[in-house]
Structure 1
Amino acid sequence: MGCFFSKKRKAQKDSRAENNEEQPKQYSWDQREKIDLKDYMFSGLKDETVGRLPGKVAGQQFLIQDCENCNIYIFDHSATITIDDCTNCILFLGPVRGSVFFRNCRDCKCTLACQQFRVRDCRKLEVFLCCATQPIIESSTNIKFGCFQWYYPELAFQFKDAGLSIFNNSWSNVHDFTPVSGELNWSLLPEDAVVQDYVPVPEEFKAVRVSTEANRSIVPISRGQRQKSSDESCLVVLFAGDYTIANARKLIDEMVGKGFFLVQTKEVSMKPEDAQRVFREKAPDFLPLLNK
């Protein structure tokens, strides 16, 4: 009986082992939806108009490479976008949580919004930019910058999904890693430059309902580091509240309508020491507002 009992236990162990083999552990990464990389790249295209509609990229990385004479429109937010070896292309890139990196491109025109913007080994790019940090160029020539100017209904939500503020735009504060004595590798586009003339809205994407009119732009249009037209200036501070963004946009529109020029906007967290530096003797009046 003892041997019989021992044999039965062994059979039970073998059975449990087989069951364990039949049901391997399921991990979270095994259950993720499979991604087709071809849906997140444009490669080797020539003389084509292509794009991705809102909701089709949804925060993934995107790659654009080896394209010539193409019109490329990404109407969605993404993680990062790299553009390599493209020539004579027109691009619109929706909000990018991380970096946009142009490498070895020439004769391209684009409108884009991102956290970081870098250009290397490029020439003759014209960029309408919203960038949260200082744009950087390296080993590049004839790079021109203007302020981002674009609208479609989903764009404001895409800025939020990408973690970008429409008020943090350092588009004109460019750093050149490889300056050449006596030359300027970058400059600003004319202040009256019309976005539609550089990055037109194609008929193929008219359903997106794009507008490039200045008064509809999601990002406030600022003068940045252009030469001041007046020695007079003022600082306007709005504290956080339920309708701060809407109130800020309304105030900007009203002031521009009365002949003021918007130089720069910034959305920041203010500490008591910051309030002391900005408001000086009036700082105690504003300290309670910092906690709201």
Structure 2
Amino acid sequence: MSCCFSKKLFNRGANRREDCYRVKETGEAKPEDGEAPKYSWDRREKVDPADFTVQDIHSKTLRKEGKPGGPLQIENCTATRHTAYIRALPKPKKIDATILFLHQTSQVIIDDCRRCTIVLGPTQGSVFVRDSANCTILTSCQQLRTRDCTSVRIGILCPTEPIIENSNDICFFHLAMKYPHLKDQMHAVGLRPFTNRVVSVHDFSPAVGKPNFVVSAEPLKMSEGQDEILKVNTVILKATPADFIPRFTAMKDDDPTYLYILGKSEPVDELGDRAIEILHAVYKAGMKVMATYDVETKNLDATLIPFARMAERLILFQLSGSLANLECDVDFDLISENDMEPLQKLLIHLNGRKSG
């Protein structure tokens, strides 16, 4: 038995798939014979990889300008022996490379970098650091991972556990910096200045005897020359009354003060701005910030937060010093003696502290 098919049957849908992707415009005239139709991919904006790549930067400062919101790749940047020192010194001095990208990104990958200072704007996704050594990195991101790294200092604000793997001599610091528009950029990518899980670093390949990482309660310090380079590029590391990211103090206080405010989850910046006002008042009163927490109450066991009542969001301050001089226009509450026991359980849950 044989079957016959008309050529029209095979050709019937041949042009329909193309027509689905063809870009139609209002009042568009039909193309003349021989004129190629235009499709959606013909009208896509051309992407230049150079807008999202930094590579081969050696012993100089680069403030990278590019399109915010996209990925960023930084690779093969190092310090080299500076020629100005070759004749003057027995051992020529190495000058670090400094790379700044003060825009928000979707993801950052740092590969094969040596003796670099890298300052990043907020990242909506992950920052990956691989095969790098003797670097200093300042970043706020949703997740951080290092692999095959040695002697890296990381100033970080991260709402999830930073992760290291096959890495050693990694030192974490609470991020303490500011530059114009940083606050708005953090808000745009969903990062909150009062949430930082830097104390909860997870090591996938722990060493026996000596930890692969430490978490410092002191701020990250730069050399005077490096600090000046950052300052020229609008990045400030030193404390000022206008700070909106808490600067934590390493100190022992057996009787800290716990202050908190409650509010709605949205808009995010409404409760956050109230917390920043309190932060400024705390600094003005001469008090010290030991820790802060910004949490959605729906994600917590209700027995841990009886004081939160029906609020959707809680921002908690752990402070040292006297409340006598604290003057603030924002209403806040203090943890009572009755709520101290559930609070301690809450802090254990939030900190999730791990050893190196």
User: Is residue 239 from structure 1 mapped to residue 254 from structure 2 by the alignment?
Assistant: no
- TM-score, normalised by the number of residues in structure 1: 0.79
User: Is residue 61 from structure 1 mapped to residue 71 from structure 2 by the alignment?
Assistant: yes
Tell me the equivalent position of 1:230.
254
Q: In terms of mean alpha carbon deviation, does 68-77 or 41-50 score higher?
A: 41-50
Tell me the equivalent position of 1:71.
98
Q: What are the Cα deviations for residues 75-123 of structure 1, in whole angstroms up to 9, with x where unaligned?
A: 1111111111110111101101111111110000121111110111010
Shift of 1:49: 1.1
User: Is residue 51 from structure 1 mapped to residue 63 from structure 2 by the alignment?
Assistant: yes
Distance 1:248 1:20, change over 3 A: farther
AA in 2 matched with 1:99:
S
Tell me the equivalent position of 1:266.
293
**RMSD value over aligned CA atoms?**
3.0
- Residues 109 and 198 of structure 1 are in contact (CA less than 8 Å); yes or no, is this contact kept in structure 2? no
Take 2:110 and 2:38, find their aligned partners in 1: how far apart are those partners?
A: 40
SS of residue matched to 2:293: coil
Unaligned stretches of 5+ in structure 1?
1-16
More strand by percentage: 2
SS of residue matched to 1:253: helix
Distance 1:104 1:118, change over 3 A: same
AA in 1 matched with 2:37:
P
Take 2:292 and 2:229, find their aligned partners in 1: how far apart are those partners?
A: 31
- TM-score, normalised by the number of residues in structure 2: 0.65
User: Is residue 178 from structure 1 mapped to residue 178 from structure 2 by the alignment?
Assistant: no
Q: Within 5 A, what are the aligned runs for 1:161-172?
A: 161-172=188-199
Tell me the equivalent position of 2:239.
214
Shift of 1:171: 1.8
Shift of 1:68: 0.5
Take 2:159 and 2:60, find their aligned partners in 1: how far apart are those partners?
A: 31
Take 1:178 and 1:212, find their aligned partners in 2: how far apart are those partners?
A: 32
Q: Within 5 A, what are the aligned runs for 1:73-222?
A: 73-189=100-216, 191=218, 193-195=220-222, 200-202=227-229, 206=232, 208-215=233-240, 216-222=242-248
- Residues 261 and 275 of structure 2 are in contact (CA less than 8 Å); yes or no, is this contact kept in structure 1? no
Take 1:127 and 1:197, find their aligned partners in 2: how far apart are those partners?
A: 18
Take 1:182 and 1:71, find their aligned partners in 2: how far apart are those partners?
A: 34
Q: What are the Cα deviations for residues 25-56 of structure 1, in whole angstroms up to 9, with x where unaligned?
A: 532x4423211101211112211211224xx3
AA in 2 matched with 1:177:
F
- Residues 96 and 115 of structure 1 are in contact (CA less than 8 Å); yes or no, is this contact kept in structure 2? yes
Counting aligned pairs with the same residue, the percent is 29
Q: In terms of mean alpha carbon deviation, does 255-264 or 132-141 score higher?
A: 255-264
Tell me the equivalent position of 1:7.
none
Tell me the equivalent position of 2:44.
32
Between the two proteins, the alignment pairs up a number of residues equal to: 264
Distance 1:197 1:94, change over 3 A: farther
